[in-house]
Structure 1
Amino acid sequence: MSQHLKQSWPYPELVAHRGGGTLAPENTLAGFREGIRYGYRAAECDVKLSADNVCFLLHDDTVDRTSNGQGEAKLKTMAELSMLDAGGWKGAAFAGEALPTLANVAAYCRAQDMLLNIEIKPCPGRFEETGRLVAQEAARLWAGAAVPPLLSSFEIDALRAAQAAEPALPRAFLCEDIPANWREILRELDCVALHCDHHALTAELARDIKQAGYQLLCYTVNDPADAERLLAWGVDGLCTDRLDLLPARR
């Protein structure tokens, strides 16, 4: 699987960050709808586990910033999470937007032919089980899909657990600064790609990663001039908050 994907990257150049970037509440179906509205064919989202082990979308360890609730996400059941308003903080037009499950997002993305990068985003102390359960759920939800979701994470233990649970799903190592041992990490986890903060990338590093046979995605690229420079370096994908400034290409 990984060797095939290294040769034939199925994802488009532009990826909508957390569903719809800054144009809608992050990690909600409203965000994914914005992505489709702007012609995006791929999105990224953060997935973690509820107290009762349901895979759902949320970036932070607490629900405080992006909902009308309070407290640690890992202590709340999916029934409790589903009662929260995850859109009102972004504006009245989004009031009542729910925290979606990965199953909700899978149904939407598959119906819209939208590809997905799932960032495995474990709450503290739940790295391995989150990697395992998110990978298993992704494999189930995208069974038979022409292009499976791409799993990425900052947490090596989560990626290692995902690899053990569902080795056929493609994986990417996610980092801010690119570590000196990136080759060893990608090889150990049998990754197809490296995802990094675009500020950490140089033309030389981009060349080395590409020559090693890996795909390369940068986040969070919101300036058209940065986008052109990175693409000229051979970067395969750009994750952006500004769907309105970076028009979907292909």
Structure 2
Amino acid sequence: MNQYSQPADAAKSSLLQAASHLVNARQSGNRLEALPCDEALLSLEQGFEIQQHVGVLAGKKVGGWKCALPKPGKWIVAPLYTDSIVSGEQYPLGIATSKVKIEPELACVLGADLPARSAPYTADDIIRSISQVHLALEVIDCRYIDPQKVTFEHLLADGLFNHGLVLGPRAFSLGSTHLPTHLDITLSHEGADPLSIAGAHPDQDPVSPMVWLANFLSARGIDLHAGQVVITGSYAGVLEVPTNQSLDIQFGKAGSLSVFFSTIEE
């Protein structure tokens, strides 16, 4: 053993320990105050590494990704696991709650693999790889007691608030149109007036985050696969909606999505 191997082994052990705590939080429902590591020294790369360990330790299969264009000191990237992508109209939350947070998005389904490679992917490469575009809702949750008290690297390690994805009906094909920059969102449910929002994509061009994602993952030897779904940002920010009742979300002229968020009894 050389003089450098022990610190490297210790660092790897620390990241695996942090990942195991997040796995336990996901499986038990118990929330964490923070990860058991020095958050002041945790880098973005290490936060992403912990995130990747979580999926492996939990035995999860990656069914897609959430992403956005990076911001200073922030990588907006996290896996969507197949067992949390729901195509039906009922989404089981697995907790007792009267409210849940959602983000109305468009989900792009890949029709071709985008393997890791040395040459960078272009927007044309990404557009050609998209086979379908669906209406979708990202379901928001976190494994920390108070996410405002932890660093971004800790949030990255936890998957950036992703609980799951409601994959709604097909919206359109890219052969006939481009992904819209603006998309009006109307939320309707019993007991309240409809909420209408003049929606806009946070990165303006919805394809740009996918280009960034493909190249970010490629640089780390991670492939994108046909059948995986990619979401790139909410057209209406975060919406808090009631559970245990039917909801309808209209996505402008692209169509509507109905969903029922079911909870366990307290």
TM-score (ref. length: structure 2) = 0.27
Comparing both structures, which one devotes a greater share of its residues to strand?
2
* TM-score w.r.t. length of structure 1: 0.28
More helix by share: 1
Q: Give the number of the structure with larger relative contact order, counting CA–CA contacts within 8 Å between residues 6 or more apart.
A: 2
